[in-house]
Amino acid sequence: MQIHQLSRINTKSSQKKKRRVGRGGKRGGYSGKGQKGQKSRAGAKIKPQIREMILKFPKKRGVHFSPLKESPVIVKLESIVTHFPQGGIITPAKLEKAGLLLRMKSKQQLVKILGSMPLTQSYTIKNLLVSQKAKEAIEKAGGKIQK
């Protein structure tokens, strides 16, 4: 007879009682989930924090895509009056020379004139977009808008 073959005399009372295992596994009362909290509950699926941060960023079309519609560069009617007080023909090249536009190497810029102030001189606007109120002010002073 060896030591592992020995048995206790009173087997029923001396054996350890089986502990009731928490539902979900044989890992004790809490089944390896700790005590309280969202992670210990049934169906606890917590999103990673980085995923929520990514979802808050604005969605764009991509890095290599240019905008579908380019917005024009805005030039106010007041700045045209201060740079060209004698009137005359206004073109994108003249606006660039006066320092109202920054030169772009690759493509021609769209330029729009905004504002509604009374004019004393007549201006001829060529190859520029003009707002409705600026158009009324220019035509009221005797100017023209050409495309």
Q: Are 121 and 141 in contact (CB under 8 A)?
A: yes
Distance CA 141, CA 123 (A): 8
Checking if the pLDDT of 7 tops 90, the result is no
Look at the block and give the residue holding tokens 């536009």: 101
Please check the confidence at residue 13 and state whether its pLDDT lies above 80. no
Of the pLDDT bands very low, low, confident and very high (cuts 50, 70, 90), residue 22 is low
Position 142 scores a pLDDT of: 92
- Residue range 110-140, pLDDT digits in tens: 899 999 888 988 999 999 999 999 999 999 9
pLDDT per residue over 29-81, tens digit each? 777 777 888 888 877 788 788 988 888 888 776 777 776 777 888 999 999 99
Q: What angle do CA 126, 128, 129 make, to 5 degrees?
A: 135
- Does the structure show a pLDDT above 70 at 23? no
CATH of 73-146, one of 3.100.10.10, 3.40.50.2300, 3.40.50.11900, 3.10.180.10: 3.100.10.10
pLDDT value, residue 129: 93
What's the rounded mean pLDDT across residues 74-100?
90
Two structure tokens written together for 58:
């604005």
Asked if the model's pLDDT at residue 145 lies above 80, the reply is yes
